[in-house]
Amino acid sequence: MKITLINASPKKRGSFSNYILNELLPLVKTESEPEILSMSFWDDDFFNDLCSSDVLVFAFPLYVDSLPASFLHFLMHFEERLKGSPANIRIYGLVNAGFLEGHQNRYALEILSHFCRRAGLTWGGGLGIGGGPFLHGMANVSWKFSAKRPVYDGLVHLSEAIKNGQVLENDLLITPKIPRKIYMTVANHQWITEAKKNGLKKKELYKK
Ligand SMILES: Cc1cc2nc3c(=O)[nH]c(=O)nc-3n(C[C@H](O)[C@H](O)[C@H](O)COP(=O)(O)O)c2cc1C
């Protein structure tokens, strides 16, 4: 079974999507080695690689409750490409959000499932993870840590479905186990620090 993992984050480097695919990689190892591709550049070879796969896993960030425009653009081309040569591929989504709650990702996964139906692909289901930047910042902390554990359990659940050729009954929407108040305090602090680094004052963040 050929499994291809695709990083669909628009970030050139340092994306959570890339990090989480590297964590998924050993869990979906079968007799053949899965590979991770980046969507930063796509040509005929890239599409050939996708079309010769049995399974594709798209990892991407949640942008405004939806998919990044670059990913949507890619999907439109992929759909055109599939019209010429339909393929029997199972698709899974792995989306992460800045907000803490996993359910923030539900519409983005629904959009990807609609794409699959339209393009004649099999929708295998998705994993929606909340608190992406927090989890990324804790990359060096073991998955056994209670705050991260539910996310790892979700990854294992997804990997089992992928390897066993199963379709998830429901999307897995996972919230890291961290009090919301603490998360919001840290997130707001980071948001303001990032703004300052980029020459913006705090009040400029709230301008309407
Ligand atoms: C343009 C933009 C829109 C975003 N929209 C949302 C959103 O609607 N909800 C949310 O929870 N996070 C949102 N985020 C946060 C990202 O989903 C989050 O930072 C994610 O971890 C980035 O993943 P990546 O590193 O794989 O690109 C947005 C970020 C950007 C840059």
Model pLDDT for residues 67-120, shown as the tens digit of each residue: 999 999 999 999 999 998 888 999 999 999 999 999 999 999 999 999 999 999
Pocket of ligand 1 (CB under 6 A): 9, 11, 15-17, 61-65, 96-99, 104, 132-133
Closest Cα to atom 3 of ligand 1: 63
* Residue range 54-79: mean pLDDT, rounded: 97
Other CB atoms within a 10 A radius of the CB of residue 49 amount to: 16
Return the exposure string of 6-43: e unless at least 16 CB atoms fall within 10 Å of the residue's CB, then b: bbbbeeeeebbbbbbbeebbeebeeeeebeebbbeebe
pLDDT at residue number 56:
98
Domain 3-177 in CATH: superfamily?
A: Flavodoxin domain (3.40.50.360)
Main-chain phi, psi angles of 100, to 5 degrees: -70, -35
Q: How confident is the model at residue 32 (pLDDT cuts 50, 70, 90)?
A: confident
CA-CA-CA-CA torsion sign (169, 173, 177, 181) = negative
Whether the CB-CB separation of 30 and 1 falls below 8 Å is answered with yes
Closest Cα to atom 30 of ligand 1: 63
Cα(146) to centroid(ligand 1), Å: 24
